[in-house]
Amino acid sequence: MTDFTKPDLTTARPIDDLAAKTHTTNFLAAPTEKLAAAGAKPPKNLAARYQYLQACTKKVRQALHALVTPDVLDGCHVVYADAHRMTLSLFSATAANHLRYVSMNCVQALRAYDQQFCDLQEIRVIATPPAQSVSRQNSSQKTLSENTKRIINQNANNVIKHDGLRQALLRLANDDGDTKV
């Protein structure tokens, strides 16, 4: 007799790692994606450094929650840390400038938060834009908003003195491509 009972979907099934590791990646994939699909692991010293920076990032976010808004902290990552110096990376230049302004307060907060940061003397802040996706839009396909077009037209007509630059900006701002000089 055959058993026609429904399978129990609440229990987890083990994942077949070998099938995932031997799966061929897209030929357009980045080299790191190809290595990961082949089952390669980063060197131990690199993995340990990454884990250390992740732990520092977590502590920094906890220590600075009173000084900086949660939006800024979400994009904050420790990219370098030693006993005396730390470098933080932020996605926004505005947020980076704000953090530079309060950097001495941040140093004091980190010293008070954890013994690991007791010798910290300086925080450097850099702005790094988030990584762009592989499928980028062609620049000819991008469109400008009406507000941007209006601002470009105003600046071209009222501020720009160079005729060639003015005509190029007006061509950019006008959909149909004819210039208004």
Residues 6+ apart with CB under 8 A from 108: none
Domain-embedded: residue 29: no
- Domain assignment present for 135: no
Same domain assignment for residues 149 and 117? no
Same domain, 158 and 88: no
Model pLDDT for residues 144-171, shown as the tens digit of each residue: 888 888 888 888 888 888 888 888 888 8
Indicate the pLDDT class of residue 11, thresholds 50, 70 and 90.
low
| Domains contained in the chain, number | 2
Q: What is the pLDDT of residue 147?
A: 83
Same domain, yes or no: 122 and 59: yes
- The per-residue pLDDT of the chain, averaged, comes to 80
Q: Is residue 30 part of a domain?
A: no
Structural domain includes residue 73: yes
Return the higher-pLDDT residue of 108 and 148.
Answer: 108
Same domain, residue pair 63 and 100:
yes
Does residue 122 lie in a domain region?
Answer: yes
Same domain (yes/no): 116, 150: no
Judged by DSSP in three states, 1 sits in coil
**Cα angle value 52/54/60 (rounded, 5°):** 105
pLDDT tens digits for range 116-139: 999 999 999 999 887 655 445 454
Higher pLDDT, 97 or 27: 97
Domain contains 48: yes
pLDDT of residue 56: 94
Q: What is the pLDDT of residues 20-62, one digit of tens each?
A: 555 566 778 788 777 777 777 878 888 899 999 999 999 999 9
| Structural domain includes residue 56 | yes
CATH number at residue 84: 3.30.300
Task: Write down the pTM of the prediction.
Answer: 0.55
Residue 79's domain comprises 44-127
Tokens of 113: 């938060």
Residue type for position 176: D
Q: What is the DSSP letter of 166?
A: H
> Rounded to the nearest 5°, which phi and psi values hold at 67?
-95, -30
Classify residue 130 as exposed, middle or buried by CB count within 10 Å of its CB (0-12, 13-18, 19+): exposed
pLDDT, position 21: 56
Q: What is the pLDDT of residue 127?
A: 92
**Residue 51 located in a structural domain:** yes
